[in-house]
């Protein structure tokens, strides 16, 4: 799952590209029948191939990334936030052929971004024709956070972490847990970071 391009022309939303990918990775990694590449591996590959100033990931770049990660498919796309509306455009690219296996557009209110992300997860599962066990169905439905502010702080913490700004990342994760104290993923990252430091 690659990062989603921010097409909103609002820099403040840039970190959500990593946050959205991270939420999808978290949700899909509970499935036993597929193996999701860790975000950290994607991050190091992106630094290695140096996408330059190009933010947008086209099909050729998606294939290159997928190939470098040893993936069969790569999910890529973009998001757009205008006022209170959020739209997510997603493409599932077959790494070997470059063919688009799925193209989806999901639109809704920004403050229910978590529902939009869940819709995308369901479309992906349908496209890949994955049969879910009861526990997988339950785990997929688990909402990580309903707070846009918490999600934004968490996403910005990921960006800081990837730049090696661990203190800043920690403060942002603490902020994320203040906005939503039930945001388990933020607590988990915070704990890991504390151990690392």
**pLDDT tens digit sequence for 146-180:** 999 999 999 999 999 999 999 999 999 999 999 99
pTM of the model: 0.86
**pLDDT tens digit sequence for 84-113:** 999 999 999 888 888 888 999 999 999 999
What is the pLDDT at residue 49? 65
Copy the structure tokens of residue 19: 């946050």
Residue 176 in contact with residue 157, Cβ under 8 Å?
yes
Q: What are phi and psi of 30, to 5 degrees?
A: -80, -10
How many whole angstroms separate alpha carbon 182 and alpha carbon 186? 9
**pLDDT tens digit sequence for 29-39:** 889 888 887 77
What is the pLDDT at residue 178? 97
**Residue 58 — very low, low, confident or very high, per pLDDT cuts 50/70/90?**
low
| CB atoms inside a 10 Å sphere around CB 146 | 15
Name the E strands within the chain: 4-6, 73-82, 85-94, 100-109
Give ∠ CA 152-92-51 in degrees, rounded to 5.
65
């Amino acid at each position: 799952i690659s990062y989603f391009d921010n097409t909103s022309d609002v820099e403040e939303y840039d970190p959500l590209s990593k946050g959205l990918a991270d939420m999808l990775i978290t949700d899909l990694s509970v499935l036993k029948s597929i193996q999701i590449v860790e975000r950290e591996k994607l991050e190091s590959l992106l630094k290695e191939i140096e996408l330059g100033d190009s933010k947008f990931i086209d099909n050729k770049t998606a294939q290159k990334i997928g190939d470098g990660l040893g993936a069969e498919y790569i999910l890529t796309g973009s998001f757009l936030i205008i006022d209170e509306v959020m739209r997510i455009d997603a493409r599932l690219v077959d790494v070997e052929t470059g063919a688009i296996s799925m193209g989806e557009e999901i639109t809704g209110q920004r403050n229910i971004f978590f529902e939009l992300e869940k819709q995308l997860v369901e479309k992906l599962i349908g496209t890949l024709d994955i049969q879910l066990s009861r526990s997988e169905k339950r785990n997929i439905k688990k909402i990580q956070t309903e707070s846009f502010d918490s999600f934004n702080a968490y996403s910005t913490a990921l960006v800081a972490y990837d730049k090696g700004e661990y203190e800043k990342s920690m403060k942002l994760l603490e902020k994320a847990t203040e906005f939503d104290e039930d945001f388990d993923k933020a607590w988990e990252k915070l704990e890991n970071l504390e151990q690392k430091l």
